[in-house]
Structure 1
């Protein structure tokens, strides 16, 4: 732990952020590729409706697995601050409780998801010709979700140890495996959507098993100690309060997907759901560097908050926003220049090629400023302040985007849905800047 303290507590902030953010970015990029590959292959080899089916199913999968992500982020915030305060006993206890919570809750929700699969798929927008294709995909993917939940729990915890490269490897393994299995199952075995689902499920399992291997090996400074599996109410309460931010955020995203799929189907039919499916995959992939900066920010900020080094915390906030804003600007320029070429990767359908580029440009319009939202909510998570973190997390998807995506298309048709994204981003960023500035002025003097 001394090496970790020397790095996070004394090393140059810019170098630290790069050291933490680059592996996180690569990991997120490759994990996003996991989702993109499914969309590309089913779009090219199965059809347009298959893209719509994946667009419906994946938010359900990530809603269930976000339990692990929430437990991981909440627990890693506690672990980072405990390590910063040199309290290894609390760090180990937190880690054991993370494992117990993830396994229990993930299995429970997978069982419920399996029993009520059709009503859930209907709720998320699997209507008309989309439902049978989505059901076939979901029936296989659901069995990989507990492994994904465990992986999402373990990934931020590994970063909290100061081991970002291993967190990156954990995200790269399933992406590479999914590419290979998609080709084998869809192209050569001709297993269709069932094959795509099987490839994804196996890739989820590989990710979870690698993370388990890491924690069982000598590489991890956090040890799996059976006595720490017993749930400690105080630790669980803190994990849930902080991790609940991520779970609620994913819940808001899931509600957003319900509203979006309803509006898309109402004003544009199945084809509009496919348009958004492509945009959503591009968004996941292209914003990976910005997300990587926010993920790299968490352990650095959390450790120095625990060590009560306010000057380093403020510097971390400023440099993270600066790095992310530059990356966001580069991403937007790339979208403007290559928007048509990007769509060609996913499909050769004439309607999609005609409708998607303009919609994608609108959705990405204010990408240069989104880092401010991410760092704002990440700071409060790192500081263990659940309520402001929850508020800032819900700003875009919950408070602004959901009502805008429902109301605007009533007046502006399908374009109203696309414009709801940049409007929500601008409003969320303004409020986040105000809240974060107040916090810095008040508590980081």
Structure 2
């Protein structure tokens, strides 16, 4: 058995190839996948902003928690399954690794169907909870009611892609997401402007793209997989599900926290916006636009983290700790350089960035530009926290991963966006962001440094 374990470790390039080359090989497709995945919402936002207007942008913001919750379920099972798969393969336990992958895939399909039914049955109460105003509600119902139908395929695509990448097929993983996003981008202007469907057209374009991405994931595990996988392994097994959720919980909680913050934020903007010169609809629309802009930045950082996940997991399981440390150093450096570039763009070109997503009144641009510059002021340091969370999850430190996921969104940001507006009005929301970011950055550095020192 020990000899078999050594053979698996020796044959797998994750444990032998130069770290820099491995990061490029796995991170670049992961970044592209994350960017393309983010483009589903961003492309919708751009075309809706141009074709429907401010209320359409506000509607996609109100609908965004549904997407975030779906992503949370996908990452819980996808990252949890992929992380366990790489750890078990690194330890030489191939059959157990494949069983975990099978449980993850079938659970993704089941959870997507369940979420679709819940959203369709409780659509209006959910949208009211998410902050929809009277004027925004009709647009939000149209958009969310249709996109809910694509949730099973979306969850299978997002979660399944992590397992595809763990199976040493990062390029196919990228192709799955890219194909769906390209279709969505082509169909958006055709449905919105060509057919005159408005916001419903954007929703149908999104669903069709998600269906294509989900089907490509199924095709991979049916015909192209490298792992050993029997049909019997697709039956969900509770003991595998426990270890999957343990390592996927950090990423899941991070997304749930994002959804929770978005819901609270929308309601605070609705309340304090009504008492300001901006009204309720302008802040909700602006924050929706800026959250999509931030998605682009976060997609790159999370893509680097996801690309490093197989390298961290395999080498930690194989006890090659120097390679784990080296991978973390490289990834953090790359994230920091990219984050600094985004910081400069946000501070120097706020009007141009917001203008991509459609036109608006002078008050609309006034609020959006101030919000972007203030709320995103700590962007240069914001890549470290999601990077560290992914790192802890990949090496099996589930509790640390959960703590890292909770720091920015729940422990710091959520209380601040409730407390600051009591004294500063709607401006309090803007200043809560950079303070929460700074605190999360400091904690991430402390925990990551401590864990890396242990590996010496």
1:72-87 matches, cutoff 5 A:
72-87=78-93
Q: 2:74 aligns with which of 39, 50, 68?
A: 68
2:242 matched to 1:230?
A: no
Q: 1:379 aligns with which of 365, 385, 391?
A: 391
Contact kept in structure 1, 2:413 and 2:432, CA below 8 Å = yes
Aligned counterpart, 1:159: 165
Contact kept in structure 1, 2:9 and 2:92, CA below 8 Å = no
1:401-416 matches, cutoff 5 A:
401-416=413-428
Q: Structure 2 CA distance, aligned partners of 1:100 and 1:24?
A: 22
Q: How big is each residue's C-alpha offset from its partner over 1:362-415, in whole Å with a ceiling of 9 and x where there is no partner? A: 222111212221222112100122111111111111111111111111111222
3-state SS of 1:30 partner? helix
Q: Structure 1 CA distance, aligned partners of 2:307 and 2:70?
A: 24
Number of equivalenced pairs: 443
Q: CA deviation at 1:234?
A: 2.0
1:119-134 matches, cutoff 5 A:
119-134=125-140
Aligned counterpart, 1:258: 263
Aligned counterpart, 1:276: 287
Q: CA deviation at 1:310?
A: 0.8
Q: How big is each residue's C-alpha offset from its partner over 1:185-241, in whole Å with a ceiling of 9 and x where there is no partner? A: 1101111122111111111111111111122123x2135521112232221110111
Q: 1:418 aligns with which of 425, 430, 445?
A: 430
TM-score relative to the length of structure 1 = 0.96
Q: CA deviation at 1:65?
A: 4.1
2:455 matched to 1:438?
A: no
RMSD over aligned Cα atoms: 1.7
Aligned counterpart, 2:407: 395
After alignment, is 26-35 or 140-149 more displaced?
A: 26-35
| Contiguous gaps of at least 5 residues in structure 1 | none
Q: CA deviation at 1:333?
A: 1.5
Contact kept in structure 2, 1:73 and 1:243, CA below 8 Å = yes
Q: CA deviation at 1:247?
A: 2.0
1:290-439 matches, cutoff 5 A:
290-350=301-361, 351-439=363-451
Q: Structure 1 CA distance, aligned partners of 2:11 and 2:161?
A: 20
Q: Structure 2 CA distance, aligned partners of 1:207 and 1:171?
A: 6
Aligned counterpart, 1:145: 151
1:169-248 matches, cutoff 5 A:
169-218=175-224, 220-248=225-253
Contact kept in structure 2, 1:256 and 1:402, CA below 8 Å = yes
Q: Structure 2 CA distance, aligned partners of 1:321 and 1:286?
A: 14
Q: Structure 1 CA distance, aligned partners of 2:267 and 2:68?
A: 19
3-state SS of 1:346 partner? coil
TM-score relative to the length of structure 2 = 0.94
| Contiguous gaps of at least 5 residues in structure 2 | 1-6, 274-279
Q: Structure 2 CA distance, aligned partners of 1:438 and 1:69?
A: 26
Q: CA deviation at 1:4?
A: 9.2
Q: Structure 2 CA distance, aligned partners of 1:18 and 1:357?
A: 35
Q: CA deviation at 1:3?
A: 9.7
3-state SS of 1:11 partner? coil
3-state SS of 1:349 partner? coil
Q: Structure 1 CA distance, aligned partners of 2:208 and 2:136?
A: 24
1:18-57 matches, cutoff 5 A:
18-57=24-63
Q: How big is each residue's C-alpha offset from its partner over 1:226-275, in whole Å with a ceiling of 9 and x where there is no partner? A: 11122322211101111222222221111111110011111221110011
Contact kept in structure 1, 2:339 and 2:379, CA below 8 Å = yes
Q: 1:136 aligns with which of 142, 146, 168?
A: 142
Contact kept in structure 2, 1:75 and 1:157, CA below 8 Å = yes
